[in-house]
């Protein structure tokens, strides 16, 4: 049989055991010829046969009695070939799917091998033969082993790559399903690069999002033409080795993993790997499995072990060759090991990256718990001491403190003497209580210490609050609840994008390339040197143990220090002497414009409390521009009236979509002049963006608008030009993701069911795109692309084929996400009806309308903490721009509306790539905005659409 293409794919590791040297050799020859597999010797008693996705391991176990039984079974089946169905005579059989069963039949005839054909030998749909071990091995031209419908023959423009799929989970070759280009994410046509085997493992403490990371790595490796492996049970799996620990995975093996918490491939602490002998075994087992590259998802300890493993690799391989554990051929083939790290840690303690996989999920658990605790604390006027994780890093405690407006936090990076922290805590708690606050929340990291390195326990804090302040105090230790549950949307997307980049990184790596760490800085996925990141991370712990706390703080990322300063500033509000002298104190107003979005209240609270700590007077303009123009709805903000705002959804000061010109520009200018505002912070979506442009344009006519003005984007649509992140978008994404998870569970429970989910977002496809990435939706339709009939037809065909091949597998519910404005002709209901009709009974589709549920309830920790960060940056900007605009405010003759420096004092504060930037509104409005579409000209999430499609095997029609 001569073929130039792989005949089979789809089978994960399958081990066959021969009980004599003769049957061992015959079995190897049989499968090499019959399935067109390549041979790779592992040792004298085992051979690995493979052709990309198929991996058969033939093992020799000399046992004369067992061989006698196998021979008898083989002879019995041969004798019954013409009278009894082999399928009824064996417990199980290997069955593959082929696009051309006649090639297999011709081979069996030529070799004169026994065969059974169904329904007829002349036109078979199923064809069985016997291997030398007495196993029944079959191929079928049907979609599955019990179907009577033959598979669709390949079309003229498709490759003749075999569609052979076993009853084991299927492999999906996307080269025939996705338009190819010269760069990722498509596979270049005719790629001659040898297939790499890429293994992934999770190690150390588990973290939500690890499963999404593994899923992305496995499917991206397949998509890139590589063989994906998983190492079960972390480094322990490397030490133990064998197919039960180092497994080749297929496309279907990771179906539905995005929504699962923990790590399905296991993790374990492994003392053996810390010794060279353990690492030697790990190297041997990776080589035996044929692995070229290793991606490790874990914390600093796991990544330290990974980098050490790579540095020792040449000496380990040399020792294995010297002791004859591997062959010379293997030594040449596996001389180098590429390693890449993705950081999975709830502590967020890795230097050089803003976030680690699982950190924001853990923070979400903490904030939810504290929100619950706050309610009971308020009922009884109690104090609660909440202990959170973080041995050497106080990130969780710090961010939770900001997100929940905690009274005090204790973290390892900023200790004080035993007396100092007690006095500080009692002072701030007393001031809060004296101003009418009924609750007290103190958050302590498990690694909290005093300046002399003495541990501070939650019991210590409890004792101080009871003995010195007489508060009714309770302790809540959250423990491993922080690790549990499914990942939030941010972690799912972060884990997915980092998984994709990790595969790219190991494919780009050379023997001289330093091991990379996949990081995120602001909104950009980046690669950092792994060894340097780990070294910096360990330096923090070393500095703390050496009592050099100033160095420890300096080694933390600048964002950590910024968060700490923000917490201290907002927490003091008007309780201490203002920081600025009287002549520097300003009147700063804040207004909400547009639809409600998670984090708006956090921005108002943070802006006001920071203003108070600086000495400024904060004002709120209630109910937007119309409230100001009609009712003079301006009120100064005080600390007590804002208690609890940080964690509330909606908008406490009210909001609407009215712009200044719609309300009455002249009246707004009059009130600005009356209250003598020195600065303005606008929080809102596209209407807020338009409002800022109108106010900036009106400066020539109204001197009252010649003040620094900052827009903090806040909209679930995330369609404000000048930023890649808007407040509320994360809260909305979490709400939509949770809705989709529930809907998908329903779809999985009903065979052949898909849901079409209607997604908000106006003309922006951001929410639908990110949700598709987070929940693994089969397709997403967005306004930027619309819905073409060709694409819809292809998606229906793909869904029908997918359901037909599901073979009763679990987690097989399908989701289609449709932005409301993706099509004027097709609503979610209409689209579901069309899909059901065109599916011709192969599946049915139902509409699902989450509506305003997508605005979310309580704001997510990301929206709360980023709102604080952006609000404080906005106030700082207003302070720093006073000298620039001072003369223009005083004299009309000195005001030039075209002066770029003056124009830049009206700006949008946003995240662009790896930076937080202020961009002048005139630049954005005139050159970077599609005003009629209410959209930026550059769609920053476009690349994510391709990744979301590729990870579910969606075929795109150009």
The tens digit of pLDDT for each residue in 446-464 reads 999 999 999 999 999 999 9
Residue 389 assigned to a binding site: yes
Residue 719 among known ligand-binding residues: yes
Residue 708's pLDDT is 97
Q: How far apart are CA 840 and CA 51, in angstroms?
A: 36
pLDDT tens-digit map of 655-669: 999 999 999 999 999
Q: What is the pLDDT of residues 21-57, one digit of tens each?
A: 888 888 888 888 887 777 776 677 888 777 655 677 8
Tell me if residue 117 falls in helix, strand or coil.
strand
Q: What is 497-565 written as a DSSP string?
A: HHHHHHHHHHHH--TTSPPEEEEEETTEEEEEEHHHHHHHHHHHHHHHHTT-HHHHHHHS-HHHHHHHH
Residue 715 assigned to a binding site: yes
* Residue 846 in marked binding region: yes
pLDDT at residue number 103: 77
Res 620 pLDDT > 80: yes
Is the per-residue pLDDT at 178 higher than 70? no
566 annotated ligand-binding residue: no
Closest C-alpha to 853, from 717, 694, 739: 739
Torsion of CA 662, 665, 671, 672, to 10 degrees: 120
Find the mean pLDDT for residues 140-161: 42
Mean pLDDT over the full length of the chain? 88
Asked if 347 is an active-site residue, the reply is yes
Residue 794: per-residue pLDDT: 92
User: What pLDDT shows up at residue 104?
Assistant: 81
Q: Is the pLDDT of residue 417 over 60?
A: yes
- Confidence at residue 86, expressed as pLDDT on a 0 to 100 scale: 82
For residue 528, the tally of other CB atoms under 10 A from its CB is 19
Q: What's residue 203's pLDDT?
A: 94
Of the candidate ranges 88-102, 288-302, 462-476, 874-888, the one whose mean pLDDT is the lowest? 88-102
Answer yes or no: is pLDDT of 941 > 60.
yes
Q: What percent of the chain has pLDDT over 70?
A: 90
Poorest-pLDDT segment among 96-110, 150-164, 275-289, 897-911: 150-164
Sign of CA dihedral 273, 276, 278, 283: positive
Among 344, 350, 371, 197, which Cα is nearest to 864's? 371
| Choice among 100, 347, 354, 364 that is catalytic | 347
Give the DSSP letter of residue 153.
P
Is 760 annotated to bind a ligand? Reply is: yes
pLDDT reported for residue 808: 61
479 conformational bin, left if phi > 0, alpha if psi -120 to 50, beta if neither: left
- Is 269 labelled a binding residue? yes
**Stretch 413-428: mean pLDDT:** 91
pLDDT of 637 above 90: yes
Place of tokens 């689209």: 831
pLDDT in tens, 548-605: 888 888 888 778 999 999 999 999 898 889 999 999 999 999 999 999 999 999 999 9
Q: With 50 as the cut, is the pLDDT of residue 616 above it? A: yes
pLDDT of residue 92: 67
40 is in an annotated binding site: no
61 pLDDT tier (thresholds 50, 70, 90): confident
Q: Count the neighbouring beta carbons within 10 Å of the beta carbon of residue 122.
A: 7
pLDDT class of 150 with cuts at 50, 70, 90: very low
717 marked ligand binding residue: yes
* pLDDT of amino acid 457: 95
pLDDT > 90? residue 823: yes
Element (H, E) at 909: strand 906-912
Question: Sorting pLDDT into bands at 50, 70 and 90, what band is 811?
Answer: low
- What residues contact residue 327 under an 8 Å CB cut-off, 6+ apart? 41, 321
Read off the pLDDT of residues 117-137 as tens digits, 9 standing for 90 and up. Answer: 877 776 677 888 998 888 888
pLDDT score, position 193: 52
Assess whether pLDDT exceeds 80 at residue 163.
no
Specify the pLDDT at position 919: 96
Among 152-161, 532-541, 913-922, whose mean pLDDT is lowest?
A: 152-161
In the chain, what are the domains? 14-140 (3.10.180.10), 194-355+487-536 (3.40.50.450), 359-482 (3.40.50.460), 573-727+859-927 (3.40.50.450), 732-857+943-950 (3.40.50.460)
What's the predicted TM-score (pTM) here? 0.81
| Range with the poorest average pLDDT among 41-55, 626-640, 867-881 | 41-55
Task: Give 194's pLDDT tier (boundaries 50, 70, 90).
Answer: low
| C-beta of residue 853 within 8 angstroms of C-beta of residue 731 | no
- Does 480 show up as a binding residue in the annotation? yes
Can you give the pLDDT at residue 159?
36
pLDDT of residue 8: 44
> CA dist 515 to 119, 196, 445, 771, Å?
56, 17, 32, 31
Residue 315: is its pLDDT beyond 60?
yes
- H-run or E-run covering 869: helix 861-880
Residues ≥6 apart with Cβ < 8 Å to 667: 628, 629
How is 313-336 classified by DSSP, letter by letter? HHHHHHHHHHTTSS-HHHHHHTS-
Beta strands 38-43 and 46-51: pairing type?
antiparallel
């Amino acid at each position: 049989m001569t073929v130039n293409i792989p005949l089979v794919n789809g089978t994960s590791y399958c081990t066959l055991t021969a009980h004599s040297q003769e049957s061992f050799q015959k079995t190897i020859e049989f499968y090499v010829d019959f399935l067109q597999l390549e041979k790779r010797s592992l040792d004298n008693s085992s051979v690995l046969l493979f052709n990309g996705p198929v991996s058969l391991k033939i093992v020799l176990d000399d046992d004369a009695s067992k061989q006698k039984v196998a021979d008898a079974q083989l002879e019995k089946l041969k004798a019954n070939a013409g009278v009894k169905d082999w399928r009824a005579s064996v417990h199980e059989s290997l069955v593959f799917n082929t696009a051309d069963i006649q090639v297999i039949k011709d081979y069996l005839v030529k070799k004169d091998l026994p065969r059974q054909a169904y329904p007829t030998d002349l036109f078979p749909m199923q064809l069985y033969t016997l291997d030398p071990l007495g196993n029944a091995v079959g191929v079928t031209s049907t979609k599955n082993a019990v179907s009577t419908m033959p598979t669709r023959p390949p079309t003229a423009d498709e490759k003749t790559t075999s569609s052979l799929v076993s009853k084991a989970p299927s492999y999906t070759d996307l080269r025939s399903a996705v338009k190819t280009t010269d760069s990722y994410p498509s596979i270049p046509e005719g790629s001659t690069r040898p297939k790499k085997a890429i293994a992934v493992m999770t190690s150390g403490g588990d973290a939500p999002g690890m499963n999404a990371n593994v899923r992305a790595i496995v499917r991206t490796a397949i998509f890139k033409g590589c063989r994906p492996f998983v190492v079960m049970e972390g480094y322990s799996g490397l030490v133990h080795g064998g197919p039960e620990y180092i497994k080749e995975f297929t496309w279907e093996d990771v179906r539905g993993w995005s929504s699962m918490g923990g790590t399905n491939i296991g993790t374990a602490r492994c003392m053996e790997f810390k010794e060279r002998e353990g690492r030697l075994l790990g190297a041997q087992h990776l080589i035996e499995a044929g692995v070229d590259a290793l991606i490790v998802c874990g914390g600093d300890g796991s990544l330290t072990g990974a980098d050490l493993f790579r540095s020792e690799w040449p000496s380990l391989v040399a020792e294995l060759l010297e002791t004859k554990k591997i062959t010379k051929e293997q030594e040449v083939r596996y001389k180098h090991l590429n390693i890449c790290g993705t950081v999975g840690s709830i502590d967020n303690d890795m230097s050089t990256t803003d976030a680690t996989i699982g950190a924001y999920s853990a923070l979400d658990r903490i904030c939810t718990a504290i929100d619950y605790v706050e309610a009971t604390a308020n009922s009884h006027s109690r104090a609660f001491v909440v202990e959170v994780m973080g041995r050497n890093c106080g990130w969780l405690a710090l961010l939770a403190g900001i997100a929940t407006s905690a009274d005090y936090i204790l973290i390892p990076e900023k200790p004080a003497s035993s007396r100092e922290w007690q006095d500080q805590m009692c002072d701030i708690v007393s001031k809060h209580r004296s101003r009418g606050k009924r609750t007290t929340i103190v958050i302590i990291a498990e690694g909290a210490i005093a300046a002399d390195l003495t541990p501070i326990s939650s019991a210590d804090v409890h004792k101080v609050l009871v003995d010195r302040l007489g508060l009714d105090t309770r302790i809540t230790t959250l423990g491993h609840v922080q690790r549990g549950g499914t990942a939030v949307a941010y972690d799912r997307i972060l884990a997915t994008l980092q998984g994709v980049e990790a595969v790219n990184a190991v494919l780009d790596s050379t023997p001289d390339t330093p091991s990379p760490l996949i990081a995120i800085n602001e909104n950009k996925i980046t690669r950092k040197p792994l060894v340097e990141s780990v070294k910096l991370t360990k330096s923090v712990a070393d500095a703390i143990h050496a009592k050099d706390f100033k160095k420890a703080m300096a080694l933390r990322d600048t964002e950590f220090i910024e968060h700490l300063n923000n917490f201290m500033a907002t927490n003091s509000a008007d309780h201490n002497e203002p920081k600025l002298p009287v002549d520097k104190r300003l009147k700063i107003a804040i207004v909400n414009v547009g639809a409600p979005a998670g984090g708006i209240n956090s921005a108002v609270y943070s802006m006001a409390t920071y203003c108070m700590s600086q000495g400024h007077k904060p004002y709120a303009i209630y109910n937007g521009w119309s409230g100001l123009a009609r009712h003079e709805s301006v009120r100064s903000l005080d600390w007590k009236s804002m208690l609890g705002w940080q964690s509330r959804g909606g908008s406490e000061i009210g909001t609407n979509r009215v712009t200044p010109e719609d309300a009455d520009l002249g009246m707004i200018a009059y009130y600005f002049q009356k209250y003598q505002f020195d600065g303005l912070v606008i929080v809102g979506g596209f209407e807020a963006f338009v409002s800022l442009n109108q106010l900036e344009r009106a400066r020539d006519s109204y001197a009252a608008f010649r003040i620094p003005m900052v827009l903090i984007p806040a909209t679930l649509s995330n369609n404000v030009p000048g930023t890649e992140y808007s407040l509320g978008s994360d809260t909305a994404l979490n709400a939509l993701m949770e809705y989709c998870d529930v809907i998908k569970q329903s779809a999985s429970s009903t065979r052949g069911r898909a849901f079409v989910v209607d997604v908000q977002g106006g003309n922006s496809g951001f929410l639908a795109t990110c949700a598709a990435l987070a929940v693994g939706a089969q397709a997403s339709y967005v306004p930027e692309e619309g819905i073409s009939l060709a694409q819809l037809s292809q998606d229906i065909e793909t869904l029908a084929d997918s359901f037909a091949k599901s073979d009763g597998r679990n987690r097989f519910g399908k989701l289609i996400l449709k932005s409301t404005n993706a099509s004027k002709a097709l609503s979610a209901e209409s689209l579901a009806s069309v899909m059901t009709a065109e599916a011709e009974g192969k599946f049915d589709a139902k509409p699902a309308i989450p509506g305003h549920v997508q605005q979310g309830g309580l704001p997510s920790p990301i929206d709360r903490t980023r709102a604080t960060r952006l609000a404080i940056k906005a106030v700082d900007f207003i302070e720093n721009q006073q000298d620039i605009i001072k003369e223009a405010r005083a004299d009309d003759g000195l005001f030039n509306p075209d002066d770029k420096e003056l124009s830049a004092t009206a700006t949008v504060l946003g995240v662009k790539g790896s930076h937080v930037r202020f961009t002048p509104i005139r630049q954005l409005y005139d050159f970077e905005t599609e005003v009629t579409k209410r959209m930026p000209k550059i769609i920053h999430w476009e690349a994510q659409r391709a990744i979301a499609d590729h990870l579910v095997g969606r075929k795109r029609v150009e």
